[in-house]
Structure 1
């Protein structure tokens, strides 16, 4: 149990469909005295056109993360040992980076991430909707995925193979966290 020290903040990053939420949730369940915050539970002010944002240099500070920061600051005052963040930007957002103690990148091959995203996001859609999404991905969207591989992955403390079984991923992260 935490005795007056701040909780260790662990950020889990990956491309869309890369396993952020699954890994963050499982990690939170496996850690003692922890809480979790999910990036997707917020409606942030940010770039309207993701591809234009990537083409302009992908400044992660373009995202207004004040609601997440306020919730994180609230958790930092609780007697926790860990805070797990399902957070795609790792250390790349200036205001958030000062809170993160350990950033994990789940390195999931883009074909697997895309298949997971389609299964998750298009369960009740027509094949035409899926084909249109694939066309958009090939034409433009893939650049967003590659941006993360170029900037978030190398700026993480640990890179974990996203094709490993979930419990093995959790074990690798937990082992690294214990060494801190």
Structure 2
């Protein structure tokens, strides 16, 4: 762990696991903080995610230079915390140089899938939902399982994704405060 201010921490989870919800709520709870959201970027990454996963899913194959530049800019600002809604945790070697602490929101895959369907298909047809579920069972689940094998074990803190949001926020802030006061 690097001792510096601002403290940079990454929040990881499978899709639908709560990364964005927790990050968005933490930004309100932790004063003098800023957040960067992975989904706000258009990264150069693998064309075929499943092929990438089947070939080992090396996060270093993603060009995260824009995100890294934004982290560098925020590091020069007079803030206390930088939160990254970031699926790779410490796994991307260039991004990990800036991360002090990683959190994995451990949400059961069925709950994450239900949340993702609710989020992504509010206006979708039943047919679109069924196609997405078929894709998940046929291919996509491999991506979720890969993340559980790679990102989760390297996290500094694993939080139960079934806890109420307020409890998750409390656990994370308690741990982040310890780092800041270290």
- TM-superposed deviation, 1:157: 0.3
- TM-superposed deviation, 1:6: 2.8
Q: Aligned pairs, how many?
A: 176
- TM-superposed deviation, 1:110: 0.3
Q: Counterpart of 1:99? A: 98
Determine the C-alpha separation between the residues in 1 that align with 2:9 and 2:132: 32
Task: Flag structure 2 segments of 5+ consecutive residues without an equivalent.
Answer: none
Q: Counterpart of 1:78? A: 77
Structure 1 runs of 4+ aligned residues shifted over 4 Å read none
SS where residue 104 of structure 1 aligns? strand
- What are the Cα deviations for residues 99-150 of structure 1, in whole angstroms up to 9, with x where unaligned? 0001000000000000000011111111111101100100110000000100
TM-score, normalising length: structure 1: 0.96
Q: Counterpart of 1:128? A: 127
Task: Flag structure 1 segments of 5+ consecutive residues without an equivalent.
Answer: none
TM-score, normalising length: structure 2: 0.95
Determine the C-alpha separation between the residues in 2 that align with 1:17 and 1:46: 20
- TM-superposed deviation, 1:19: 0.3
- TM-superposed deviation, 1:76: 0.4
Over the aligned positions, Cα root-mean-square deviation in angstroms equals 0.7
Determine the C-alpha separation between the residues in 1 that align with 2:157 and 2:82: 17
